[in-house]
Every structure is written in structure tokens, then in C-alpha cells.
Structure 1
Amino acid sequence: MKSGVGLLLLMAGGVGAVPAFAAEQCAQSALRDHPPAINIRIDNDMLGGAQQDQGYTNGAMFTLVSPNLQDYTDDPCLPRLARWMNRHLEHLHPGEFQQQNMIFSFGQALYTPTDNTRRDLIRDDRPYAAALIVNFGYNARNENHLRTTQLALGMIGPSAQGKQVQDAVHDALGDDKFLGWHNQLHDEPVFKLLHERMQRWPAEANSSGWGWDAISHWGGAIGNLATYANAGGEVRFGWKLPDDFGSSPMRPAGENTAPTRHGRAEGWSSHVFVTSDARWVVRDITLDGNTFRSSHSVDKRSFVGDIGFGVAVMRGKWKFALARYHRSREFDGQKETPVFGSFTISRTL
């Protein structure tokens, strides 16, 4: 159990140790009933099965999830640096709720045009772009309602190391490299403040047999990375459904990151899910180009929709989820509708 406390130190990005008495207090409460978790997610258009290598072509996200917390500033399950940081981000806290937790994630996303052989600027296709992002998230739950707020900070451009990562992957797979990375967007610090609200029906999941549930969501984001409003839903059916708010890894509270009331079911459990999201997009830096410098851009479409389906399997401390997503065209002249897949591994500590 105490290894989970050590993991939470990484969530704060600091060094040191939680005092022994605080660790023991935490281990006797939240860590026992709601242990922290690690999630590793890989997105790739090759996983979509449509033989694509373009658009949102690859992404990876590593996420640390805290146990359920008493609060964000004094809970002994959080190290001192995390509590200090939360005092300075108090305006992002959701308020008084029955359950709450924190997440910290670090990830990279790569975007490329369709033709990998051209070295010149392809003006009628999306820009080359890479983003390196750190997320701080706050979740809060009352019964079957959830609020989640995330602050994303990072860099887009050559410093995000997109070319280097894609070249290394293609070398390992024996695939041809993309030759136009020198046309990618310029370096620019980026941020995005996201807020979503979710509700699940029925309020109690069937954790002992076959059952179904539905989760609705609505919210939006603001920032030079992306600005949009969105809404959608997810439907799940399976054996021993988890007491959470969705299985889609693309959701802010998906894949074992939201606070739970009962923990995971004993033995095997599995379910299938179908998810959807519709967005009114005001800004997307990967399509609109750099904010403060002249760069390549395309005429993005204001309304974009996603539909996805997948399966999740859980046993003991482990959870595996595989999903496939179909997205509507994101800009005028886009040759193919994007299709990509996502694979997630989760483990509680």
C-alpha cells in the first residue's frame, strides 16, 4: 500500500517523502479502499484498421490517478508539494463533493498530412505538428454526477520531438519516414483549460451480473491549444460493470480516472461500449496554425463529430481496453475521414 504513496510524489513532480504518520493514516483509509492507479494509453491510426497513416497519427499518455481524497489541500494521501500546488490552484477545485481525486498525466500527440513522400509544403493538407502536454486534473463526484476540470500546459513545435519519435517508431517497424517535418508548426507554449460534467443512468451499476448503463457529458475548453464546446454520451453493456463514468480512453474521466464508490469487482469482468462526441470548434492549433507567428494552416470545419466502439476487460488490479474511433472530416479538402485506434492498460497499486 505504501508504494502508492510514493507514486503520488511523482504526481506532484517533486521529491521527498510523505511523513510516516501521514502515510500510515492514508494507508488505513483511502489507499485500502480506493488505491491509486497507473494508466498507459497508446493511440495510433494503424490500430484503426483502415490502413491510414495521416491526421492524428499517433499519441501516447501516461496517467497517475490518486486515491479518493478528503480534500485537495490537507489530505495525507497527497505529498506536501501537491498540497502546496493545490492551494495556488484553488480556483480550479470543484467545491464540496462526496468524493474527489486528482490525476496527473504526461503525453505526446503527432499530426501529419497524407502524403509522406513530399518534402515541400502541402498547402491543401493539414500541417505537420507535434504537441508535448502535461495535464493536472481535478474530479469530483456526487452519486451519479461527476465534474472534471483539467489544466493542460505544454509545447507545440520542434521542441515536442515529434519527428524524432515518429522516425524511431517507423525505423523499428520498417516503415517509410515522413519527409516534410521541416514544415511543421513553430515552437509555441500552449495551454488548455477544460471542464466537463457527466451523469450516469442508472445511478447504481450492476456489479454482480449482467447490466447496462449510459453516461452523458457536456462541457468545453478554452486556450490557444484548443477552444471548443462539446456534448455526447456513452452506452455500456457487460458483466459486472465498473462504478465509474465511462470506458472511452479519449474521455477526460475515462479509463479508471474518476472517483469510485465501491472499487473494482472481484474476479473477471468485461463489457462493450459505444461512445460519441460532437464539438463546435473555435480554435484548433493543429489546423489553424501558430497563434503569434505566420505558419501553415487549413480551413477547419466548425463542427466535428466522433463515434467509437470498444471492449474493456478487468481482473484484479488490471484493466485492458481497446477502442476504435471514426471522426468526421476536420477541414475542407480532407481526403479521408479519420479512423484510429486506442489501447489502454490500467493497474491499481
Structure 2
Amino acid sequence: MTLFSKQPANEPAIHAKAPNSTRSPVQPSVSILLITLLLSWSWGASAESVNGAWFLAVDNDTFAQSDDHYTNGLQLGWVSGYLKSFEEGPVPGFVGSALGHLPRINRKDRQRFISHSLSHRIFTPSDTETSEPIENDMPYSGLLFASLTAGAQDAISMDAFTLYYGIAGPSARGEAVQNEFHRLIKVDRVHGWDNQIGDEILLNVAYEYRRRLWSFGSTRGWGGDVIGQAGGMLGNLMSMVTTGVGARFGWGVPDDYGIPPQFFGEESIGSRPYTSYGTHTGVWLFALVNGSLIGNAIFWDGNTFKESMSVDYDPGIGRLYLGINARTGNWSASFAVTKTTVPWENPENRSVQTYGRIGIRYSY
């Protein structure tokens, strides 16, 4: 069993059933997140030379004809243009001043950027038909969180620091989102949400480093690169360390760091070219393999400070991403298939989960 298990290996992996009384209105939590996000975008956003890009990413295991484990994710993000200092970016002045003291991202001759995002994620066990608690499988959980990223890049490497803040539990409205989507696509309701984890405020920090290990060809024609990835997260959302390597090949591959981020990472980071796009249109394939060691994850371990459903798991997890990216002018779109190991003995004895990701970006 795992080093990080919450109970001895010879005890059941299930904790107490979350009571129905844990349900609470969504309006306060969602409103606070949205207001905070909008304020952070607008406060100090008067810097002249700031051009940006909007991102939308959707994860869903419907692409793999399943409906369990990590079953749905939605992320809306924005990234700034390049900044001379973080104080001129879209953050409060005291935040920009604090970011100016972080290591690595404040070295001279690096392109600085700030990114914001809002994410919603849903996790469920394999059996979504029963209303009874399920042993030895992932608990029901919904996550709603925002993030602020400050990063910098040059021709060889990119560094990014991220702060996550939000809520897990009934107030994140995972049940409503999933069952409304099921109603729209005319499939059965999910019945086990009474067993979801309880409400908990989320607070996390993360760091990610990417380095261009090799490049070939040209950004004006056929070419590609190999990019290394390393990073980590710490907090009650998730604590982990990750390392991986990605490769891209095609027509008009930009000199950015556009590989899939570590889990929960922002799609927007690493997305801006170091110089400029070499072609008006481009199409390229990408692949990434990475591995993580997990210290804690609220969607597996359950609530941090009170009893809830949870599952025992091994700390090691691997992921493989395969996809395609196409760009024309200011618009780009991508599709990727992700395969990730399932590090616990689940009722269906599945060792791999598959889900798809669709991404859309508009630059201005």
C-alpha cells in the first residue's frame, strides 16, 4: 500500500459516508471566485503594451466512452502579453511587487507574463448507478478553483509559479454540472453524489520548469523540438512532484513551450512564442509522457480536516498525451488523448483511464 495512506493496509479503504446535510448553496462560493478573478484581471490592467490570449480547455472521458474517475474538467484562462515588470501586469500593485521578488522569473532579459484561470473538475467512482457508498474506489468530488500564474521565458527555458484558491465539495456543484450534462446528452443520472466529500477551502502553490532540449528545422516550415518538464505542487488540493518530456513535429511549430502542463496546470503557460509565429497557419503533432509522485490529493484522500470517503493508492502515477494542434491567424485549436494509470485496486480492475481534451485559443 502507499506511504501516504490514511489508514493501515488491512483496514477498508472507505471512511464514513458524507451526510446529506453537507449540501450548501453554490452562489456565495462561485460569486467570490468570479469576483476575485475579475478584480485581479482588471486591477492594474491599464499597462499599455499588454496584449493577451484567451483559452478554453475541456476534458471529458466521454471521448473514451466511459464516465468515471476523472470524468470532466473545464478551464477558462487568460494570459498577458510580455511585461517589463510584474507590477505593470493585471494584478494588484502589492501582488506585482511581491512577484518581483520571486527567484528565476525576474532575471534580466526574460519575457515576463501573468496568467489567470478558472477551473471546474469532477471525479467519480466506477459505479455511478448505485446510491450506496463504494469501497476501494475514488470518492465523488467536485472542485472549483481559480489560479494566478507568474512566469518568464527565454530562448532556452521557461519558469512559472502558480497560486490556486477555491473550494471542494458540494459548493463546487459537481453533482449539478454532471447531471445537467447527462440530461443534455440524454443519459442516466448519476446517483451517488450523497457520498461526496464535504466542503473544504482549497489553497495550493505550484512551480513548473520547461527547457528546450533540442530543436530542428524552422518555425517558417517543417520543424519541431523536444521539451523537458519538471515541477511540483504543495497544498490541500494536491501535493506532488512531476517530471516528463514532450516532443512536437509539424509545419510552423512556434518557438514557445506549448506542451501539456503538469496535472491541474494552466494551459496558457508556455503558449506565447519567444519571437513570433513564423507562418500564418501551422499544424503539428505533439506527445508528452510524464510521471508524478503523489503526497496527497483531495479527490483521492478526501477531506483534510474531517472524515470523508477516500481510497488507498500507490504514490506513483504515469500519463501519456498524444495530440494535434492547428493554428490559423489569431485562432488555434488542439485535441489530445490522455492515458493515465489508475494507482489503486478498483472494483473493475482497471489499470489505465483514458480521457480526451479539446482546447481553443484566441490571441489578440
Say if 1:130 and 1:178 are closer, same or farther in 2 by CA, change over 3 A.
Answer: same
1:231 aligns with 2:243: yes
Partner of 1:344: 359
Partner of 2:76: 62
Amino acid in the other structure paired with 1:320: A
1:263-274 matches, within 5 Å, as 263-274=276-287
Partner of 1:83: 93
User: Which of 298, 314, 319 is 1:301 aligned to?
Assistant: 314
Partner of 2:234: 222
Say if 1:205 and 1:196 are closer, same or farther in 2 by CA, change over 3 A.
Answer: farther
1:211 aligns with 2:205: no
Provide structure 1 residue ranges, at least 5 long, that are not aligned to the other structure: 1-8
CA shift at 1:256, angstroms? 6.3
Say if 1:308 and 1:257 are closer, same or farther in 2 by CA, change over 3 A.
Answer: same
Partner of 2:59: 43
Amino acid in the other structure paired with 1:283: N
CA contact (8 A) 1:245 1:253 kept: no
CA contact (8 A) 1:143 1:203 kept: no
CA contact (8 A) 1:301 1:329 kept: no
* 3-state DSSP of counterpart to 1:264: coil
CA contact (8 A) 1:264 1:316 kept: no
Over the matched positions of the two proteins, sequence identity in percent amounts to 28
Q: Tell me the TM-score normalized by structure 2.
A: 0.83
CA shift at 1:138, angstroms? 1.0
Write out per-residue CA displacement over residues 117-138 of structure 1, whole angstroms, 9 at most, x where no aligned residue: 1001112211000000101001
Using the TM superposition, name which of 175-184 and 197-206 deviates more: 197-206
Aligned partners of 2:335 and 2:235: how far apart in 1? 30
Say if 1:231 and 1:122 are closer, same or farther in 2 by CA, change over 3 A.
Answer: same
* 3-state DSSP of counterpart to 1:62: strand
CA contact (8 A) 2:75 2:117 kept: yes
User: Which of 82, 89, 96 is 2:107 aligned to?
Assistant: 96
CA contact (8 A) 1:139 1:259 kept: no
Say if 1:205 and 1:190 are closer, same or farther in 2 by CA, change over 3 A.
Answer: farther
Say if 1:11 and 1:67 are closer, same or farther in 2 by CA, change over 3 A.
Answer: farther
Aligned partners of 1:139 and 1:17: how far apart in 2? 17
Amino acid in the other structure paired with 1:58: N
Say if 1:91 and 1:111 are closer, same or farther in 2 by CA, change over 3 A.
Answer: farther
Amino acid in the other structure paired with 1:348: S
Aligned partners of 2:84 and 2:238: how far apart in 1? 32
Aligned partners of 1:202 and 1:11: how far apart in 2? 40
Aligned partners of 2:43 and 2:249: how far apart in 1? 42
CA contact (8 A) 1:41 1:249 kept: no
CA shift at 1:264, angstroms? 2.4
CA contact (8 A) 1:36 1:66 kept: yes
Amino acid in the other structure paired with 2:97: R
Aligned partners of 2:101 and 2:345: how far apart in 1? 39
Partner of 2:86: 72
User: Which of 169, 184, 207 is 2:196 aligned to?
Assistant: 184
Write out per-residue CA displacement over residues 69-121 of structure 1, whole angstroms, 9 at most, x where no aligned residue: 10101x3xx35x53333224555463224111010000100001111110011
Amino acid in the other structure paired with 2:56: I
Amino acid in the other structure paired with 1:114: S
CA contact (8 A) 1:101 1:258 kept: no
User: Which of 323, 326, 337 is 2:339 aligned to?
Assistant: 326
1:131 aligns with 2:143: yes
Amino acid in the other structure paired with 1:128: Y
Aligned partners of 1:83 and 1:117: how far apart in 2? 50
CA shift at 1:15, angstroms? 6.3
CA shift at 1:11, angstroms? 6.9
Partner of 2:33: none
Aligned partners of 2:97 and 2:206: how far apart in 1? 19
Q: Tell me the TM-score normalized by structure 1.
A: 0.87
CA contact (8 A) 2:144 2:172 kept: yes
CA shift at 1:289, angstroms? 0.9
Aligned partners of 2:340 and 2:328: how far apart in 1? 31
* 3-state DSSP of counterpart to 1:338: strand
Say if 1:312 and 1:290 are closer, same or farther in 2 by CA, change over 3 A.
Answer: same
CA contact (8 A) 2:158 2:270 kept: no
User: Which of 116, 139, 164 is 2:128 aligned to?
Assistant: 116
Aligned partners of 2:75 and 2:126: how far apart in 1? 24
Say if 1:205 and 1:38 are closer, same or farther in 2 by CA, change over 3 A.
Answer: farther
Amino acid in the other structure paired with 1:168: E
CA contact (8 A) 2:120 2:144 kept: yes
